[in-house]
Amino acid sequence: MKLVVGLGNPGKEYVGTRHNIGFEVVAAFAARSGWVSSPADFGRVAKQKFEGLALDGAVQSSAGGTEKVLLLEPMTFMNLSGRSVQAALAFYQLPAADLLVVLDDVALPCGKIRLRAGGSSGGHNGLKDIERALGTS
């Protein structure tokens, strides 16, 4: 199982902001995977678990099989995201290596993405709290 966490802030005032790109990516992934009919349905279909909204399903793996994936949108506000992520990892007994965190990064131009397996939080408070909760970068 893999855990994909989209960071953002709950509340209408944050909808559509760059800070909520993690929520948008997770919802779009759920729609593209056929788990919800549209990204807007994520919040209605997902279950309230781990102080967030969680939805799971299976995706095709590169090896030809399937892989179970849990999508998580922490509802703790960005600065306390670590509680939600740590609770999900602990419940499913997953190592940090099975975690992907999607978040905004002011160091990147809007529309650009970067994938990396580790490194510093770069000052991002949501990522910093996850690192604190998990004890790893």
Distance (Å, whole) CA 51 – CA 84: 5
Query: In a 10 Å sphere around its CB, with 0-12 CB exposed, 13-18 middle and 19+ buried, how is residue 40 labelled?
Result: exposed
CB 87 within 8 A of CB 5: no
CB 72 within 8 A of CB 91: no
Structure tokens at 130: 């996850």
Structure tokens at 137: 């970068």
**Active-site amino acid positions:** 19
